[in-house]
Chain A
Amino acid sequence: MFSGGKDSVYACWRAQEKDTVACLITLLSQNPDSYMFHTPNIRFAASQAEAMNIPQLCWPTRGIEEEELKDLKAALAEAKDRYGIEGIVSGAIESVYQAARVQRICQALDLWSFNPLWQTDQIDYLRTLLRDGFRVIISGVYAYPFDASWLGEELTEEMVMRLARMQERYQINPSGEGGEIETFVLDGPLFRERIEVLRASRVYAHYRGQYIIEAVRLVER
Chain B
Amino acid sequence: MNGRAEILLVDNCRQAGSLSRYEFVHPAQRALERAGASCRTCHYTLLDRPTLEGCDKVLLCGTALKDKECLNHLDRYSWLREWTGPVLGICTGMQIIAAAFGGRLLPRSEPAIGLDEIQVICPSPLLGPCGKIEVYHLHDIDVSLPDEFLCLAGTDRAPEAFSHSTRPIWGLMFHPEVRNRWILERYAEL
Contacts and interface: CB of A to CB of B under 8 A. Distances in A.
Interface stretch (A41-49, A114-122, A209-217): A114-122
Contacts, number: 65
Contacts of B55: none
Nearest to B115: A96
A15 B19 contact: yes
Interface in A16-42: 17-19
Contacts of B178: 96, 118-119
A120 B66 CA distance: 22
A96 B114 contact: yes
Contacts of B111: 104, 107
Contacts of B15: 18
A100 B174 CA distance: 13
Contacts of B64: 112-114
Contacts of B138: 103
Interface stretch (B4-12, B20-28, B44-52, B157-165): B20-28
A89 interface: yes
B136 A116 contact: no
Interface footprint category on A: 20 to 34
B43 interface: no
Contact of B179 (A96, A115, A120): A96
A83 B66 CA distance: 20
Given A112-B67, A119-B26, 4 more contacts: A103-B114, A104-B114, A115-B23, A120-B27
Interface of B: 15, 17-20, 22-23, 26-27, 30, 64-67, 111, 113-115, 136, 138, 140, 177-179
Interface of A: 14-15, 17-19, 87, 89, 96, 100, 103-104, 106-107, 110-121
